[in-house]
Every structure is written in structure tokens, then in C-alpha cells.
Chain A
Amino acid sequence: QQQVKQSPQSLIVQKGGISIINCAYENTAFDYFPWYQQFPGKGPALLIAIRPDVSEKKEGRFTISFNKSAKQFSLHIMDSQPGDSATYFCAASGGETSGSRLTFGEGTQLTVNP
């Protein structure tokens, strides 16, 4: 019940295209859903996060869409750039059992071709 499933495992997008990464969770007590970006050899960097009281959050080219009834959330990267090439992780936390610890998806390796 603690799992977060992420897809696709890898994604190739042309420059200027839209990158879409999806995550699904099982624990209905989760109430915080962040996305992290990780470059090789670096630590994860927080990109954007959402709580279940809203269905969408946008920051610049990055948008999170959240569907509470389906227990799914997704990251959309508009106008994708080669500099966006990285590994993206979704995560979730919340509830009495999980508390504030983050449960991560397995990651999506995004490649944006010039």
C-alpha cells in the first residue's frame, strides 16, 4: 500500500514538445505529492509539489495534474528543452503510517533531443 508506480521508465521528446510523466499511488492517506529532478551525480532537486485540495498547479513550464479519485498525478513539461534532460521522480507522503517520509516512484529518464 506504500507503493508509488511511475511510468514511463524512459521518454524521448523533441525540443519544443510536451513531456508527460505519470504516477499512481495506493495509499489514500497520502496528502503531499512532489516531483524531483535529478541530474547524473547530483542530488534530487525539488521541482514542484501539489496537495490534494487542488487539481492542477503550474510553475513556469512545469504543471502537475492531480486526480484524487483515480489516485494518479502527472507532470507535464511544456516546450521541453535539451537542458531538461534528466531523471524525474514523483513522490508521495502523508498519513499516520507514512508520516513525512517520502515514497518515491522508480524514476523516468527524460531525453530531449535538439
Chain B
Amino acid sequence: NAGVMQNPRHLVRRRGQEARLRCSPMKGHSHVYWYRQLPEEGLKFMVYLQKENIIDESGMPKERFSAEFPKEGPSILRIQQVVRGDSAAYFCASSPNRDNEQFFGPGTRLTVL
């Protein structure tokens, strides 16, 4: 059984570019969560999605950030016009339903130059 997969594992962008992070949940999981971890800090919730729906985006910055989880394919976290403060590890977690455990992927480490 493959776990949660994220790619790329490392991403380097210059200020002003776009970053696109992908997450494939575990087989049978239709709930996806994105979290951000700044250096030496805990994880902060960003957004919760089910297939084709955003359920809770209360942790997502209002500008430049968007997320989707289409009917087919991985969930995408998109950061437009990246700034240095966006440098962090971005983790995706999946769950079979909203009341079950969340299993995390290995993360994407974004560095903005």
C-alpha cells in the first residue's frame, strides 16, 4: 500500500514565480488536508478538501494561495508570486473520512530565493 505521495520533494523558486505542489492521497482516501511548517515551528493548518470541494480554507492566506482536489488526479496547492516568507515545508495529509486519522506525506520543501 503506497502512502501519501507528494511531489516535488524540493522546490526552488525565485520571488514572483509560481509554486505548484502536488499531493496524491492514500488509496481509498477522499479527504485531503494541507499544512505548512515554518523552520523550527509546528505545523499550521491551511486547507481541507474533499473531491471537487473546498471544505475549510480558514488557514489559507487570502491572497496568492489556492488549492484544489479535482475528480481525477492529485490535490494541488498553488502559490502565486512567491515571496521569501513562503519558504517552508508543506505537508499533505489524507484520511478516509473526516473522523479518522490523518496520514502525512513526506512534504515539499519550498525555498524562495
Contacts and interface: CB of A to CB of B under 8 A. Distances in A.
Contacts, number: 58
A104 B43 contact: yes
Nearest to A49: B101
Contact of A104 (B31, B44, B101): B44
Interface in B41-75: 41-45, 48, 55-56, 58-59
Contacts of B43: 44, 89, 102, 104
What is the interface of chain B mostly: helix, strand, loop, or mixed?
A: strand
Nearest to A93: B102
Interface of A: 6, 32, 34, 36, 42-46, 49, 89, 99-107
Contacts of A101: 33, 45, 48, 56, 58-59
B111 interface: no
B18 to A, nearest CB: 24
